[in-house]
Amino acid sequence: MTETRRFSTALIDRLRSAEAVAVLTGAGISAESGVPTFRGQDGLWKKYRPEELANFDAFMRNPTLVWEWYNYRRELISEVDPNPGHYALAQLEKMCDTFTLITQNVDGLHQRAGSKRVLELHGNITKNRCVSCSKTDGVSRTIDDLPHCDCGGLLRPDVVWFGESLPQKELELAFDTASRSTVFLNIGTSGVVQPAASLSLVARRNGAYVCEINIEETVLSGQMDETILGPSGEIMPHLVELLKKNRM
């Protein structure tokens, strides 16, 4: 398929004239960097039980087990690099007047690729938060023993676990951004985890052109203006190149 045939004229025209572009990314954008996704054949939730590892009660019952899993993921993430999909989004940000990247990922790869305005809805795996005083630190190293805060409280990874609320400020900004966007892209997300999964629907209700980029159709595909099937590490650089030729 050629570049021009892969993207609809509607998408290119909308992106060129877009006043406000918003993007939601999920685990799929980092898959080509070697970070495993959660669902699908080789997904993390096929091998591990989220209720034992991504849950506050489970953490308090067995913090060592949960830390082992997070240390394994921290190490994995520290050894990988952003892929062309992440870099293309950083370029797209530079080309747009108003651009917001909303991510469910905790791996920090968007920031490492150069994205500036990033809303992390599910936290960041490189940070810790005290279960007693809620203070966060930015430690990005692997911790061998159970880490504690200055106040004596146990430190936990600063990520959102099942049953927990998302960070209020980021959540409000994400929904505000979605409702004001004129183009909204859903990239590499299965669309089954709320409230992130609702963002593109809010955008569409408010008039945005909504497009999904994924290797396969998702539960949200029927509610998109357009679904582009393929790896984001290939699709996104093509899209940005095409937009450069038709300078925004």
Q: Which residues form the catalytic set?
A: 122
54 forms part of the interface with ligand OAD (CB under 6 A)? yes
CB of 232 to ligand OAD, least distance (A): 4
Closer residue to ligand OAD, CB minimum distance, 91 or 218:
218
Only one residue has tokens 């679904």, namely 227
- Local structure of residue 96 (DSSP, 8 states): -
Position among 21, 28, 88, 156 found at the interface with ligand OAD (CB under 6 A): 28
CB 76 within 8 A of CB 168: no
Beta strands in 84-171 (DSSP E): 99-103, 118-120, 123-130, 136-137, 155-159
Report helix angle 84-95 to 232-245, nearest 10.
30
- Please state, in angstroms and rounded to a whole number, the distance separating the CA atoms of residues 46 and 41: 7
Closer residue to ligand OAD, CB minimum distance, 148 or 225:
225
* Piece of the chain touching ligand OAD by CB under 6 A; list 35-43, 68-76, 110-118, 124-132: 35-43
The dihedral region occupied by 209, where left means phi > 0, alpha psi between -120 and 50, and beta the remainder, is: beta
DSSP element (H, E) containing 94: helix 84-95
120 forms part of the interface with ligand OAD (CB under 6 A)? no
CB of 190 to ligand OAD, least distance (A): 3
Burial class of residue 175 (count of CB atoms within 10 Å of its CB; 0-12, 13-18, 19+): middle
For residue 86, the number of C-alpha atoms closer than 13 Å in the C-beta half-sphere is 27
Instruction: Lay out the site mask for ligand OAD across 204-233 (x = CB under 6 A, - = otherwise).
Output: ----------xxx-x------------xxx
Position among 122, 127, 156, 238 found at the interface with ligand OAD (CB under 6 A): 122
CB of 189 to ligand OAD, least distance (A): 4
CB of 10 to ligand OAD, least distance (A): 21
- Please state, in angstroms and rounded to a whole number, the distance separating the CA atoms of residues 95 and 12: 13
Position among 21, 32, 113, 149 found at the interface with ligand OAD (CB under 6 A): 32
* Piece of the chain touching ligand OAD by CB under 6 A; list 5-13, 34-42, 68-76, 237-245: 34-42
Name the residues that contact ligand OAD, by CB under 6 A.
26-28, 31-32, 37-40, 43, 54, 104, 122, 160, 188-190, 193, 214-216, 218, 231-233
